[in-house]
Amino acid sequence: MPFFLRENRRGCICRTLAGITPRGLRQLGWSSPHRSFAFSTLENFHRGDLLKSDNLQKLYFDQLDQIHSAETQIREALPKMIEAASEMELKVALQNHLEETHVHAARLDQILLEAKGMVDPKHCKGMAALISEGEDVIHDATDESVRDAGIIAAAQKIEHYEMAAYGTLRTFAEIVGTSQHAGLLDQTLEEEKHADAILTNIADTANDKAHKPA
Ligand SMILES: [Fe+2]
Ligand SMILES: [Fe+2]
């Protein structure tokens, strides 16, 4: 990450950027997206609105980095959930969503590259905890119907986390990003909602199967 992005203080950014020319940035080895971001940041500073926009923009970038890590964790977790599931309908739903998840990660790559010139994932602790819970459910269930019901419960917790994250990110993008990025984030949000609705339908049958009155 370019060092000036780590600085929040107005003075540091001013000192860092004020004397740097495009040639200077090229000599520093900054690529074109970094250079254009640096100059738009300096431009904002001179307009006097850096502090106002920088806080939300920084939060937006942090949250994008975090959900990128979440999507990467999901891409690793879903194959294990698919393998552990018994019902074909559940396996197919999870497989379809794994394919959508690859697209979600690709959209985030695009947004991050266009918005700040790099992808710098920030470990998502929330997703790590949800996935760990799901692994416990798979490990602890001795009945396959109960395991399926548990996998659905774990997957829906993950979807709801993503829905909250993408709803927030879409709103942030509308304020400090671009309408194109807001549209991409909204597309992902709709796919997360759709995946959640499919799981709700499968749960109707799966929960009945798992329910074995004593
Ligand atoms: Fe996703
Ligand atoms: Fe998802």
pLDDT for 3: 34
Query: String of b and e for 41-56 (b: at least 16 CB within 10 Å)?
Result: bbebbeeeebeeebee
pLDDT for 213: 77
Is residue 1's pLDDT more than 60? no
Is residue 12's pLDDT more than 50? no
Is residue 23's pLDDT more than 60? no
Is residue 16's pLDDT more than 50? no
What digits encode the pLDDT tens for the residues 140-163?
A: 999 999 999 999 999 999 999 999
Mean pLDDT value of segment 3-21: 36
The answer to whether the beta carbons of residues 117 and 191 sit under 8 Å apart is no
Three-state DSSP at 57 gives helix
- Reported CATH class of domain 54-210: mainly alpha
> Separation of 74 CA from ligand 1 center, angstroms?
8
> Separation of 208 CA from ligand 2 center, angstroms?
24
Distance linking the first and last C-alpha atoms of the chain? 58
> Separation of 97 CA from ligand 1 center, angstroms?
8
pLDDT for 181: 98
Name the band, by pLDDT with cuts 50, 70 and 90, for residue 49.
Answer: very low
The answer to whether the beta carbons of residues 34 and 120 sit under 8 Å apart is no
Q: Could you list which residues have their CB under 5 Å from ion ligand 2?
A: 162, 192
Is residue 58's pLDDT more than 90? yes
pLDDT for 15: 32
> Separation of 195 CA from ligand 1 center, angstroms?
9
Which of 19-33, 85-99, 110-124, 145-159 has the lowest average pLDDT? 19-33
pLDDT for 54: 64
Mean pLDDT value of segment 196-205: 97
Name the band, by pLDDT with cuts 50, 70 and 90, for residue 59.
Answer: very high
> Separation of 206 CA from ligand 1 center, angstroms?
23
How many angstroms separate the Cα of 198 from the Cα of each of 63, 131, 146, 155, 156?
27, 19, 18, 11, 10
- Listed by start position, the domains of the chain span 1-48, 54-210
pLDDT for 182: 98
